[in-house]
Amino acid sequence: MKDNHWKTYEAKIQKRISDLLKNNFFFEIVFLFSNTLEVELKHLIDEHQKACEYILNNEKIKFNPKKFFDSDKKTLGELRKYVASFIKSKDVLKEIEDFNKLRNKTVHKLFNQNLKSFEQEIKKFIPNFYKLMENLVDIRISIIVGIQKYKKKELLRKYRK
């Protein structure tokens, strides 16, 4: 998430999630988690696309990834499929998939199941969600660090010429 999103999350969203947890409102938490994950995936995709664009443009190849995949216009499922093209960790991809299934059950099939046991399923998933978010931030940071290393190498090559 971008800085302004983190500020909103920390100031408002996390407090709501805590209040919902205290009151055992697990279905509602899934909706807030869904929005949080969507924002993080969009930011991750944005960083990945910026890195690709920078490297390719630097190699004299014109490339604008937003023309092919504009994350602002995609669903959570579409975002999940796109990040699978560059996230190496099968565990992270599985956690995204697991959350998406949980979200789909909440949104589309809530009344087709035992609600008490489904609440327990959501409750068990909550720590996994926080770990997933931590992993996604780590991946985003690794993309940023990677592009910075590329820029340093590029400067060294120019300096040596």
- Do residues 5 and 14 lie in contact, with contact meaning Cβ atoms separated by under 8 Å? no
Q: Which DSSP helix (H) or strand (E) runs through 57?
A: helix 26-58
Count: domains in the chain = 1
Alpha-carbon distance 127 to 111, whole Å?
25
Task: Give, for all 161 residues of the chain, the pLDDT tens digit.
Answer: 566 777 777 778 889 999 999 999 999 999 999 999 999 999 999 999 999 998 888 888 888 888 889 999 999 999 999 999 999 999 999 999 999 999 999 999 999 989 999 999 999 999 999 999 999 999 999 999 999 888 887 777 767 66
Alpha-carbon distance 51 to 44, whole Å?
11
In this structure, the dihedral spanned by the alpha carbons of residues 43, 48, 51 and 52, taken in order and rounded to 10 degrees, is -140
- What's the full length of the chain, in residues? 161
Looking at residue 110, its amino acid is L
Would the pTM of this model clear 0.85, i.e. be above it? yes
Full domain range(s) for residue 123? 3-160
49 exposed, middle or buried (CB, 10 Å; 0-12, 13-18, 19+)?
buried
82 exposed, middle or buried (CB, 10 Å; 0-12, 13-18, 19+)?
buried
Alpha-carbon distance 159 to 5, whole Å?
38
Alpha-carbon distance 109 to 118, whole Å?
11
